[in-house]
Amino acid sequence: MQRIGVFVCWCGTNIAATVDVKAVAEALGKEPGVVFATDYQYMCSQAGQDMIRDAIKEHNLGGVVICSCSPRMHETTFRKTAEKAGLNPYMVEIANIREQCSWIHKDMPTATEKAVILGRAAIAKVHLNAPLTAGESPVTKRALVIGGGIAGIQTALDIADAGFPVDIVEKKPTIGGKMTQIDKTFPTLDCAACILTPKMVEAAQNENIRIFSYSEVDSVKGFVGNFHATIRRKARYVKEDVCTGCGLCTEKCPQKKVPNEFNLGLDNRRAIYIPFAQAVPKVATIDPNYCTMLKSGKCGVCAKVCTAGAIDYKQKDEFIEEDYGAIVVATGFNPIKLDRYDEYAYSQSPDVVTSLEFERLMNAAGPTAGTLLRPSDGEHPHTLVFVQCVGSRETRDCGKPYCSKICCMYTAKHAMLCREKYPDTEVYVFYIDVRTPGKNFDEFYRRAVEEYGVHYIKGMVGKVVPENGKLKVQASDLLSNEQIHIDADMVILAAAIEPDESARSIATMLTASMDTNDFFTEAHPKLRPVESPTAGIFLSGVCQGPKDIPETVAQAGAAASKVIGLLAKDHLMCNPCVAEANELMCNGCSSCEKVCPYGAITYSDKEFPGPNRTRVLRRVASVNPAVCQGCGACTVACPSGAMDLKGFSTSQIMAEVDAICK
């Protein structure tokens, strides 16, 4: 039996107004083992803490029960207090008589009675507490970045600059992400490629960075500081280290009718391809869905023309296993599919395009070599209609309830560029609101209107009907309270953006939580915006929420600094409340191992003393305390009761049950 001290906090009037704290202290003072019981206005104050410290020393207390606010609030505070008095911090238990008692009950006798019972339960538990010491786990000084867009690249570069090795895993054949497809950037109108490609090259050349392109993360196990990932390098049927990127194969390949995803299917590429000229790594990749050699075994042209001998039709997916201390998620976004928006005729007319497609049509490296031409007939368009908020701010199921944030600005950019390059065009922008919070953003939008004469119309497009080579646009002009009709040559839809489809499975793999829109949730929306609630997982870029490039880069840097802060530590303190196997009772049945989410349980054959001085060899479980996170799943899976959880042991919980049900 422990010598227990009970401290009842008034929390000003928060507790004392509904709980008779004196009566609680008096009642608990009569409990077996309690040698000291008192109450005080604010136990968490310095004076309150001193009181606890002095009582521990004076009464030689072995356990402390504090009846106060939630343990989520001040458990750490009081543990530290106990530690200062020379008591093991885990000999402190909190009875939550504020959030779970005084604040929910109005009647004083009822609340007081409940507070006494909660106090008794805590006393019953403390009697069975044992001193616990937190172990340490080493930190693997390497980071993994999932996603090789601008967010991933920037994070990797910043971490690498601090001297830590980083691996980037990118599922596409090249890093660069969405930004590679963008022509110009707002509000400066500088060329996206011009600012991105140097960063891509820098990442490729940085000694601390390894790039796994055309690869995916297959599985992640472990925990903060000690993740273990398996990376699948998909077979590209080209030896990456041998290919020189000369591109001869991509010219000779007879399979010419493959939709070019880099240009969003606006033109075609070959079955063997390099996505674009500045790709990193600049190596060819064979598309197994179109390659006749891979499909039917007949062809082999690329292998014949490749002077480097880089083609390998027999290549298999390769798996790389690596340990990491931290993981950054930078999985980015995609525009939503518009096939359910019949009113805009996106599926009916090639001249109705998304803004990202429009980027390619304006880009010098795009399908039209930078000249704006109508996809349907290659004619120069004269009337362009931009529609904003397509799928954004929608509560219908085909849309997204959030604002995609970047559309107002890129639409202004597109409109402005059209008018600049082709002054003969009429450009209409239909908007609900124009949102321009950002440095030089509103000025940029105003320039589109004032300098470039873009027609901004407050209202929405109701329908687009392709008719006689024109797109009949019917829309409302809310300011003039009119319905207007425009015969447009092209309609450009500002499609909402959504997290990449791989995000959900990655979140599950990393045990990181997501919101209903599949954006990763941050540990705290204001104070910890670049960390996931799961320790060791960090968020960079649009995977956390819609962002433009400067914001993405800023968040990427912030995530990197958090990673650097983690990797700079040699050890992390472990949670001492972990599972423990009693080898004498374990029968080695593996039930616990099957339910452990962390793989913290291993088995070994050990010799034990048997009856009559014999030795018995038995298979028994042991828990790696650095890996165990203390969920307790094993304790219930174990039929023998050989598994127990420190700090939440079976006997402790049963003692609490007994005290409550008395």
Partner 1 sequence: MQELIKAKAIELLENGTVDRVLGWKAGEFFYDLTPAVFTSREEIEKDFVYSVFSGANLSKYLVKESRKDGKVAAFLKPCDTYSFNQLLKEHRIWRDHVHVVGIACDGMCDMEKIRAYGAKGVLSVERDGDTLKLETLYGPMTMNKADAEAERCICCKSRKLVAYDEKIGEDGDVIENSGRFDMVAKLEAMTPDERYAFWQGELSKCIRCNACRDVCPACTCEKCVFDNPKSGIAQKAAVNSFEESMYHIIRAFHVASRCTDCGECSRVCPQNIPLHLLNRKFIKDINELYGEYQSGADLETRPPLMNFTQEDCEPSVVYERGGKQA
Partner 2 sequence: MQKNQELELTATIKRISGVNPRLCMKCGKCSATCPAFDEMDYHPHQFVDLVDKGQIEKLMNSKGIWNCLSCFACLERCPRMVEPAKLIEAVRLAVIRQQGQNHLKPEQIPDLLDENLPQQAITSAFRKYAK
Partner 3 sequence: MKQLTLSKLNELFAAMAAQQQLYIPADKGGQAQFLPYVDGMELTKSLNTARSAKDLFFPQTEDIVGFQVQGTEITLEETRDPGAPFVVFGVRACDARSFDILDRVFLSDPVDTFYETRRANGTVVTLACTRPEETCFCGAFGIDPANPGGDVAAWMAGETLYLNANTEKGETLLSSLPLLSDCDDSAVGTVQAEIHAITEKLPLNKLDLTGFDGDHLMEHFNNPAWSKLSESCLGCGTCTFVCPTCQCYDVRDFDTGHGVRRFRCWDSCMYSDFTMMAHGTNRPTQKERFRQRFMHKLVYFPSNNDGIYGCVGCGRCLAKCPISMNIVKVAKTLGEGTK
Report, in Å, the least distance between residue 275 CB and partner 1: 35
Query: Residue 527 binds which entry of partner 2, partner 3, partner 1, none, with Cβ cut-offs from 5 to 8 Å by kind?
Result: none
User: Rounded CA gap, 171 and 232, in Å?
Assistant: 10
Residue placing its CB nearer to partner 3 in the complex, 364 or 660: 660
Q: Which residue among 315, 476, 561, 602 contacts partner 2 (CB under 8 A)? A: 476
Q: Is 459 in the site for partner 2 (CB under 8 A)?
A: yes
Token digits for 571? Answer: 């050890």
Report, in Å, the least distance between residue 210 CB and partner 1: 33
Q: Is 30 in the site for partner 3 (CB under 8 A)?
A: yes
Label residue 53 left, alpha or beta by phi (over 0 means left) and psi (-120 to 50 means alpha). Answer: alpha
Q: Which span (235-243, 321-329, 450-458, 637-645) binds partner 1, by CB under 8 A?
A: 637-645
Q: Is 318 in the site for partner 3 (CB under 8 A)?
A: no
Report, in Å, the least distance between residue 434 CB and partner 2: 13
Q: Which residue among 35, 132, 204, 432 contacts partner 2 (CB under 8 A)? A: 432
Mark out the alpha helices in 170-252 (DSSP H runs).
192-205, 248-252
User: Rounded CA gap, 464 and 491, in Å?
Assistant: 8
Residue placing its CB nearer to partner 1 in the complex, 622 or 650: 650
How many chain residues are in contact with partner 3, going by CB under 8 A? 9
Q: Does residue 312 contact residue 285 with C-beta atoms inside 8 Å?
A: no
Query: Residue 616 binds which entry of partner 2, partner 3, partner 1, none, with Cβ cut-offs from 5 to 8 Å by kind?
Result: partner 1
Query: Residue 32 binds which entry of partner 1, partner 3, partner 2, none, with Cβ cut-offs from 5 to 8 Å by kind?
Result: partner 3
Which among 236, 251, 239 has a CA at the least distance from the CA of 286?
A: 236
Q: Is 615 in the site for partner 3 (CB under 8 A)?
A: no
Q: Is 651 in the site for partner 1 (CB under 8 A)?
A: yes
Q: Is 658 in the site for partner 3 (CB under 8 A)?
A: yes
User: Rounded CA gap, 32 and 658, in Å?
Assistant: 14
Query: Residue 30 binds which entry of partner 1, partner 2, partner 3, none, with Cβ cut-offs from 5 to 8 Å by kind?
Result: partner 3
Residue placing its CB nearer to partner 2 in the complex, 91 or 387: 387
Report, in Å, the least distance between residue 475 CB and partner 2: 5
Q: Judge residue 656's burial from the number of C-beta atoms within 10 Å of its C-beta, 0-12 exposed, 13-18 middle, 19 or more buried.
A: buried
Q: Is 648 in the site for partner 1 (CB under 8 A)?
A: no
Residue placing its CB nearer to partner 3 in the complex, 32 or 86: 32
DSSP assignment of 392-441, as one string? TT--STTS-SS--SSHHHHHHHHHHHHHHH-TT-EEEEEES-----STTH
Q: How many H-runs (helices) and E-runs (strands) does the chain carry? A: 17, 34
User: Rounded CA gap, 260 and 241, in Å?
Assistant: 25
| Alpha-carbon separation of residue 615 from 581, 607, 610, 611, 612 (angstroms) | 20, 6, 5, 8, 9
Q: Is 340 in the site for partner 2 (CB under 8 A)?
A: no
Q: Does residue 7 contact residue 43 with C-beta atoms inside 8 Å?
A: yes
> Where do we find the tokens 């008192």?
38
Q: Which span (285-293, 319-327, 454-462, 576-584) binds partner 2, by CB under 8 A?
A: 454-462
β-bridge partners, 32: none
Q: Which span (5-13, 167-175, 212-220, 387-395) binds partner 2, by CB under 8 A?
A: 387-395
Q: Is 588 in the site for partner 1 (CB under 8 A)?
A: yes
CB atoms within 10 A of CB 161: 15
Report, in Å, the least distance between residue 83 CB and partner 3: 29
Residue placing its CB nearer to partner 1 in the complex, 31 or 656: 656
Residue placing its CB nearer to partner 2 in the complex, 331 or 388: 388
CA atoms within 13 A on the CB side of 124: 20
- Based on its alpha-carbon atoms, the radius of gyration of the chain, rounded to whole angstroms, reads 32
| Alpha-carbon separation of residue 496 from 226, 351, 392 (angstroms) | 37, 19, 5
Q: Which span (57-65, 194-202, 267-275, 639-647) binds partner 1, by CB under 8 A?
A: 639-647
- Using CB under 8 A as the criterion, which residues of the chain lie in contact with partner 1 when the complex forms? 584-591, 594-595, 603, 616-619, 637, 639-642, 650-651, 654
- Using CB under 8 A as the criterion, which residues of the chain lie in contact with partner 2 when the complex forms? 343, 389, 393-396, 399, 432, 458-463, 474-478, 481, 483
